[in-house]
Chains A and B, each alone.
Chain A
Amino acid sequence: MKLKVKNISKKFNSLIAVNNISFEIEKNKVMGLLGPNGCGKTTTIGMMLGLITPTTGQIFINGIVLAPKNRIELLSLMNFASPYIELPKKLTVKQNLEVYARLYGVKEIKQRTSEMIEDLNLQKFLNKKTGELSSGQKNRVALAKSLINKPKLLFLDEPTASLDPDIGDFVREYIEKYKKKNELTILLASHNMKEVERLCDEIIMMKHGQIVDRGTCDQLIKKHGRENLEDTFLKIARSKNELE
């Protein structure tokens, strides 16, 4: 599924959170959305999920403009995972997966939830309340929910934030494996540069609501004369005028 963002801006009173950005993600590619805190990443993702109305511009999903009239149709093809939003804490993992499978209109609910449970090793805490899980377990459940409808377009907001290296690696590996088997376009917002290098085909760097640079990891590292993506990020984030 192809995502095209055309000249979108978002203004909150006098604050310009996102300023006239455009980009495209080709089908089956992973795009990294990087930038310092407050640069407009969450607002951009919010607009693509239909949670925030852009002040100007349009978002196209497979050539169809995201608008209230086709919101339901397009949302059923997408999903989102973020450690900053949670699933109902008082429901068990199994109940949450069932509820979300139904909300997304999944046809074979039992089969799909079983697949997710097995793939993400959720068996041991399946009947535990979601609020009682550890960060790593919650993260895997959130990932299961985000893939329950076999989305064609997935938004991931810092999917491995606050995870230990082992679980973080498990999640990254799972995303890689899943992508190989399924048609999936991903927009990944992350502050973990190693994760971005490993998963992303292309990167967009945002600052003050604008896109200040884009390219593959290698292209950006080379362009800014740095040794790795972390240093490149720091150079772009700390630069005053040259890129703005």
Chain B
Amino acid sequence: MNWNKIFALSLRHLYLIKGSFPRILDLIYWPTIQIFLWGFISKFFTLNSSFYENTVGIILSAAILYDFLFRSSISYNMMFLEEIWSRNFTNLFIAPIRLSEIITALTFTAILRTLIGLVPAALLAIPFFGVSIFNIGIPLIFLLITLYIFGVTLGLLVTAGLVRFGPSFENIAWASLFFLAPLGCIYYPIEILPVWLQIIAKLLPLVHIFEEMRNILIYDIINYFQVFKAILISFLYFIIGVIIFYLSYSGAKNRGTLINMGE
């Protein structure tokens, strides 16, 4: 692993963010809108639902965590799509940089893009709705790590698709997270799902993360076994994502799609 090359690729994306104010605004805008929307819904539920009684901010906290997952994945995809949109794909893949270095660079840079978007939104939730995600305490770090690994994994799977099928796979990039959201039990307990879907949902780390978030905020307890199970599941998916990315790259070299890839 050559950290100078990883830094170089990260630098390319940092320059991109730094050079455009509308781009920074765009990163902040959507999470903020999301937080305000769910903030008002959350406020309504806490006033009218017995389940959420005296547990102000559960939905809003879930929305912030889900948005963290969403932004990590989208950030990862966006950086890869930037290479396709700017027709820089061939230049990147003929540079002496390993796939593992590309994955590492995108993974590290995606966290920055995610935080630029989400930190202002999470801070705004405190004065506007009296909800602080930081109330989760130390376990928040583990929940965020798990969500980040899973978000990056989803990003990795989409980029594998982009390498394999070309820019036409772009639409899947936007749809991927919405597809998993119902199974993630973000805003409701897993018992809401039919039994057969519960089995599938438990294979995803999201259910464990959001269940624990609710346990902390409603009952003030945490089951670290569930948290580490979620980290383990996310990490397992990440490894699968890396393998699929390598296979896609190899397949793209066989089909000759790496040369001249662009819009």
Which of A's residues lie within 8 Å of B, judged by CB?
10, 12, 17, 42-43, 45-46, 49-53, 71-73, 75-76, 78-80, 82, 84-92, 95, 98-100, 102-105, 129, 131, 145
Contact = CB atoms under 8 A, between A and B. Distances in A.
A19 to B, nearest CB: 15
A146 B15 CA distance: 21
A131 B11 CA distance: 18
B87 to A, nearest CB: 4
B256 A80 contact: no
Contacts of A78: 94
B95 A104 contact: yes
Given A50-B94, A88-B82, A100-B8, 12 more contacts: A52-B258, A53-B253, A85-B87, A88-B16, A91-B12, A91-B16, A98-B11, A99-B9, A99-B12, A103-B5, A103-B96, A105-B96
Judged by DSSP, the binding face of B is helix
B82 A85 contact: no
Contacts of B96: 71-73, 75-76, 103-105
Q: Among the interface residues A52, A87, A98, A104, which one has the most CB atoms of the partner chain B within 10 A?
A: A52
A235 B147 CA distance: 63
Contacts of A42: 259-260
Contacts of B194: none
7 contacts: A73-B96, A78-B94, A87-B86, A87-B91, A91-B12, A95-B15, A98-B11
Interface string B82-115: 1100111111011111100000000000000000
Contacts of B93: 51
Q: How many B residues touch the partner, as a band?
A: 35 or more
A88 B82 CA distance: 8
A78 B91 CA distance: 12
A71 B98 CA distance: 9
Judged by DSSP, the binding face of A is mixed
A112 B88 CA distance: 22
A46 B259 contact: yes
A98 B88 CA distance: 15
A219 to B, nearest CB: 31
Interface string B228-263: 000000000000000000000010011110111010
B19 interface: yes
A86 B88 CA distance: 5
Interface in B109-164: none
A103 B4 CA distance: 8
A85 B88 contact: yes
Given A99-B12, A105-B2, A105-B5, A145 B259 contact: no
Interface in B12-67: 12, 15-16, 19-20
Contacts of B259: 42-43, 45-46, 49, 51-52
Among all A-B residue pairs, the 4 with the closest Cβ atoms: A102-B8, A75-B96, A76-B96, A86-B87
B172 to A, nearest CB: 24
A85 B11 contact: no
B7 interface: yes
A90 B88 contact: no
Nearest to A94: B15
Contacts of B255: 12
Given A46-B259, A80-B94, A85-B87, A90 B7 contact: no
B86 A88 contact: yes
Given A75-B95, A80-B94, A12 B15 contact: no
Given A95-B15, A104-B96, A105-B4, A84 B88 contact: no
Contact of A145 (B4, B20, B91): B91
A51 B98 contact: no
A85 B5 contact: no
A72 B3 CA distance: 14
Contact of B9 (A49, A71, A103): A103
A78 B11 CA distance: 23
A85 B15 contact: no
A13 to B, nearest CB: 9
A99 B8 contact: yes
Contacts of B250: 53
Contact of B4 (A72, A82, A102): A102
Contacts of A86: 86-88, 91, 262
A87 B96 CA distance: 16
A212 to B, nearest CB: 22
Contacts of A84: 87, 260
Contacts of B95: 75, 100, 103-104
